[in-house]
Copies of this chain bind each other. A is one copy, B any other.
Amino acid sequence: MELKLYVDRLSQPSRAILIFCKANGIEFEEVKIDLAKHQHHSPEFAEVNPMKQVPAIAHGDFKLFESHAILIYLASAFPGVADHWYPADVHKRAKIHSVLDWHHSNLRVVQVIIVKCERIAVGYIFNSAIAIERGLPLNLQAAAKEEKLLSESLAKIESYWLQGDGPFLLGNEKPSIVDLSLVCEVMQPEAADESEHERILSPHKRILKWIEDTKNATTPYFDEIHSIMPLAREKIKELKVQASKP
């Protein structure tokens, strides 16, 4: 049965799904939905996801959207996926769901806030995909607010979710779908500015090690999928130049 991934590599949940499939040897066709060209608003894409967001998938006739639901589905429907990605044990699985839900209201919420509040300006630190998609002016105040939310979430990940013996979230010895989802989110500021990303992450040594461990566990696919970052930086630079013009 054919698997199609409707994605834009500039979106962090799209990248998580691409890396997951590659790391697990799941064959797929990548269908690019170019956010900058508003392809997510096309009638064709509405047939796949009426909510008009990437990522979405079609597995034969079965269509699904929301990245966490997709990761869980792929880990469950493809028998070759190792148990550590989404453990069958009811207690381990419950903890995975807890982190995924927490993520929605923390790291991930920065995106949602900006979309829902319909702000006319976004910061460039975190929401580069949205900025590019909408051609929005950049705003330093919004960037400061985003940085504060990001730093708070990083501190919570370090002090709580990364406690334990293993190098991954929940103290696991091997990565799970939550590591992929959250690391791709944490990588997003790199799409805006490499030195800013380094500055924000540098106080968080445990986070830096976790990113490296997740990269290494999914090598070479993590870097391959994140090779989009320089392109994102180019687009963000263009937006900055536009924003600085009177």
**Chain A interface residues toward B at CB < 8 A:** 50-51, 62, 64-70, 72-73, 76-77, 90-91, 93-95, 97-98, 100-102, 104-105, 109, 112-113, 116-117, 149, 156, 160
A73 to B64 Cα, complex, angstroms: 22
- Minimum distance in angstroms from A211 CB to a CB of chain B: 22
Asked whether A101 and B160 contact (CB < 8 A) given A77-B90, A90-B76, A116-B113, the answer is no
- Minimum distance in angstroms from A78 CB to a CB of chain B: 10
Nearest residue (CB) in B for A91 is B62
A91 to B63 Cα, complex, angstroms: 9
Cβ contact of A101, chosen from B62, B69, B77, cutoff 8 A? B69
Given A104-B105, A109-B109, 20 other A-B contacts at CB below 8 A?
Answer: A50-B160, A51-B102, A51-B156, A51-B160, A64-B94, A64-B95, A66-B101, A66-B102, A68-B101, A69-B94, A69-B101, A72-B93, A72-B97, A73-B97, A77-B90, A77-B94, A109-B112, A109-B116, A113-B113, A113-B116
